[in-house]
């Protein structure tokens, strides 16, 4: 029984570590940053050009805001539609 608990805890911790380090595959989400090729990158990376600010596939999505000091553009990242603005 004790061995099973240890193995289970190790599995959970490995999943948390991989998720925190960007390991594994995950769908793009609001708050992620993208490069010039619309690939998700770390927001601290030199190649990060835009940040995803609105999920256009969500049922409550609103149009991208195209006025102001940070106009948004519609982008497609891994098959998902978002509004993005310059970092």
As a whole number of angstroms, the distance between CA 14 and CA 17 comes to 5
For 42, phi then psi, to 5°, come to: -65, 140
- More confident position, 73 or 24: 73
- Secondary structure (H, E, C), 18-54: HHHCCCCCCCCCCCCEECCCCCEECCCCCCCCEEEEE
SS3 at position 7: helix
- pLDDT tens-digit series, residues 38-70: 999 999 999 999 999 999 999 999 999 999 999
- More confident position, 61 or 25: 61
pTM strictly above 0.75: no
Q: Where are the domains of the chain?
A: 27-86
As a whole number of angstroms, the distance between CA 39 and CA 9 comes to 33
């Amino acid at each position: 029984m004790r061995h099973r608990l240890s193995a289970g805890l190790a599995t959970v911790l490995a999943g948390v570590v991989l998720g925190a380090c960007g390991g594994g595959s995950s769908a793009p989400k609001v708050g992620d940053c993208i490069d010039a090729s619309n690939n998700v990158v770390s927001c601290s990376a030199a190649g990060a050009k835009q940040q995803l600010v609105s999920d256009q596939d969500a049922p409550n999505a609103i149009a991208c805001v195209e006025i102001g000091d940070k106009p948004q553009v519609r982008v497609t990242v891994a098959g998902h539609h978002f509004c993005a603005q310059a970092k």
